[in-house]
């Protein structure tokens, strides 16, 4: 499992403050690590969705780069580019959280690389983008990494590939959760952690309540 | 063998919450495959062959085959694509016949597996 650490699995006799924090962090991750998965292959979407949900992620699947941009509010339903950046910012203000985008490279219309560039040039630019491809082409890999991709995975993608991404992605995720990047959660005392817990809940509302409903999207 | 480690990966993803996961993935594979094989059949009727188009279909088919671990079918896909890139019509058609045989065998094996 992606986000579970060994402490969680042992039965606890007493709940010490640090274990309580770990528990809260675990719940936080389970509710809120949201992955947007983009792939034109239905078979691959199903497999990726399973890998990610087994890894305790929330998953939204779409079948094209265009649908991904619509979801992020970067293009309206008529496929016009949003006239101003405000539409995607509004989505984010409404509480739409996407913590990771995983996209296939080869798709009809917009490629994964095109999607990467669009995301990196938008208000979603801080979101890591991982590109997946069946072709092990160094020039393609370099192009994607230079374009700002977090990583490049060879297909077929496996659970172990997602597990390898975990440490890097979780670090920035946890920081954004606590909103206090310099605080080491292990040394935070009990009273502070209660405040943080309240803060975390306020910052990350349940995505299901806030996510805009888009009829055209295939959400698995 | 007809199925490689990737199939085992799918089995390992199956759990109590989704006891039919592998079957569902295979069903999607059949759906993708039927469509692509039909497209390729039709494209092979058009002379002269449109190699780029054929390569495109086969790229997709190879992808799905790879995702479920269909080793032998995937190998035929690679061969077909090599012939496409070489512009070898004869090679393409011969390979496609072989591919369809492998695919039929695979389906039989999978049907037995799900009994």
What is the per-residue pLDDT for A185? 42
Tokens of B48: 């002269």
Neighbours of B86 (CB within 10 A): 11
Q: Order of strands, edge to edge, in the sheet holding A100-104? A: A58-62, A34-38, A100-104, A129-133, A151-154
Mean per-residue pLDDT, A139-160: 96
The DSSP output letter for A57 is: -
Give the whole-angstrom CA distance, residue A38 versus residue A63: 6
Show residues of chain A in contact with B33, CB under 8 Å. none
**Residue A186 contacts residue A74 (beta carbons within 8 Å):** no
User: Can you list the alpha helix ranges (DSSP code H) found in chain A?
Assistant: 6-9, 17-32, 42-54, 65-72, 86-93, 112-120, 138-146, 159-178, 190-203, 207-210
Neighbours of A31 (CB within 10 A): 15
Lowest-pLDDT range, A8-22, A91-105, A146-160? A8-22
Domain boundaries, chain B: 5-114
What is the per-residue pLDDT for A22? 74
Q: Given CB atoms, is B6 within the 8 Å cutoff of chain A?
A: yes
B67-86 pLDDT, tens digit each = 999 999 999 999 999 999 99
Q: Given CB atoms, is B30 within the 8 Å cutoff of chain A?
A: no
Query: What is the percent of chain B where pLDDT is above 90?
Result: 93
pLDDT bin (cut points 50, 70, 90) of residue B60 is very high
Higher pLDDT, A67 or A90: A67
Neighbours of A97 (CB within 10 A): 20
A187-209 pLDDT, tens digit each = 434 444 444 443 333 333 334 43
Give the whole-angstrom CA distance, residue B43 versus residue A90: 46
Mean per-residue pLDDT, B104-108: 96
Judged against a pLDDT cut of 90, whether residue A104 lies above it is answered with yes
3-state secondary structure (DSSP) of residue A24: helix
Of B29, B66, B69, the CB nearest to A155: B66
Show residues of chain A in contact with B62, CB under 8 Å. 134
The DSSP output letter for A58 is: E
B8-42 pLDDT, tens digit each = 999 999 988 889 999 999 999 999 999 999 999 99
Show residues of chain B in contact with A161, CB under 8 Å. none
| Residue A20 CA neighbour count, 13 Å, CB half | 14
Q: Tell me if the bond preceding A110 is cis, omega within 30° of 0.
A: no
Angle at B60 between CA B54 and CA B66, to 5 degrees: 130
Show residues of chain A in contact with B81, CB under 8 Å. none
The DSSP output letter for A74 is: S
What is the per-residue pLDDT for A75? 83
3-state secondary structure (DSSP) of residue B66: helix
- Of the residues B23, B30, B55, B63, the best mutation for testing chain A's interface (the one with the most A CB atoms within 10 Å of its CB) is B63
CATH architecture designation of domain B5-114: Up-down Bundle (1.20)
Of B12, B13, B63, the CB nearest to A44: B63
Considering only alpha carbons, which residue of chain B is nearest residue A1?
A: B13
pLDDT bin (cut points 50, 70, 90) of residue B113 is very high
Considering only alpha carbons, which residue of chain B is nearest residue A45?
A: B25
What is the per-residue pLDDT for A68? 97
Dihedral (Cα; A169, A153, A89, A182), 10-degree rounding: 20
Contact A156 B64 (CB under 8 A): no
Give the whole-angstrom CA distance, residue B61 versus residue B37: 8
- Of the residues A39, A42, A43, the best mutation for testing chain B's interface (the one with the most B CB atoms within 10 Å of its CB) is A43
pLDDT bin (cut points 50, 70, 90) of residue A93 is low
3-state secondary structure (DSSP) of residue A129: strand
Give the whole-angstrom CA distance, residue A185 versus residue A177: 11
Contact A42 B68 (CB under 8 A): no
pTM of the model: 0.76
ipTM: 0.94
Q: Which residues have C-beta within 8 Å of that of residue B113, sequence separation ≥ 6? A: none
Angle at B103 between CA B100 and CA B104, to 5 degrees: 85
Judged against a pLDDT cut of 80, whether residue A76 lies above it is answered with no
Give the whole-angstrom CA distance, residue A70 versus residue A81: 9
Q: Given CB atoms, is A158 within the 8 Å cutoff of chain B?
A: yes
**Residue A69 contacts residue A134 (beta carbons within 8 Å):** no
């Amino acid at each position: 499992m992606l986000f579970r650490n060994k402490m969680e699995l042992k039965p606890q006799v007493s709940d010490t403050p640090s274990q309580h924090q770990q528990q809260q962090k675990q719940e936080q991750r389970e509710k809120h690590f949201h992955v947007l998965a983009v792939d034109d292959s239905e078979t691959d979407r199903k497999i990726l969705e399973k890998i990610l949900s087994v890894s305790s992620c929330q998953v939204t699947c779409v079948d094209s780069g265009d649908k991904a941009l619509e979801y992020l509010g970067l293009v309206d339903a008529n496929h016009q580019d949003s006239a101003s950046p405000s539409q995607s910012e509004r989505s984010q203000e409404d509480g739409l959280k996407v913590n990771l985008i995983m996209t296939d490279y080869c798709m009809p219309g917009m490629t994964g690389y095109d999607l990467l560039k669009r995301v990196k040039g938008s208000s979603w630019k801080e979101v890591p983008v991982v590109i997946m491809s069946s072709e092990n082409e160094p020039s393609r890999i370099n192009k994607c990494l230079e374009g700002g991709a977090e990583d490049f995975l060879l297909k077929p993608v496996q659970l172990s590939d997602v597990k390898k991404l975990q440490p890097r992605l979780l670090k920035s995720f946890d920081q954004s959760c606590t909103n206090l990047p310099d605080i080491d959660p292990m040394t935070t005392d009990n009273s502070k952690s209660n405040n943080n817990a309240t803060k975390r809940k306020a910052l990350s509302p349940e995505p299901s309540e806030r996510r805009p409903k888009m009829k055209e999207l295939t959400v698995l | 063998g007809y199925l490689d480690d990737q199939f085992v990966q799918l089995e390992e993803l199956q759990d109590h919450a989704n006891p039919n996961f592998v079957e569902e993935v295979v069903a999607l594979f059949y759906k993708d495959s039927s469509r692509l094989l039909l497209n390729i059949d039709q494209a092979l009727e058009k002379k002269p062959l449109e190699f780029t188009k054929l390569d495109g279909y086969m790229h997709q088919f190879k992808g799905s085959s790879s995702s479920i671990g269909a080793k032998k079918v995937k190998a035929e896909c690679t061969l077909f694509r090599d012939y496409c890139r070489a512009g070898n019509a004869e090679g393409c058609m011969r390979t496609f016949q072989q591919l369809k045989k492998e695919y039929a065998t695979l389906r039989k094996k999978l049907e037995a597996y799900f009994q």
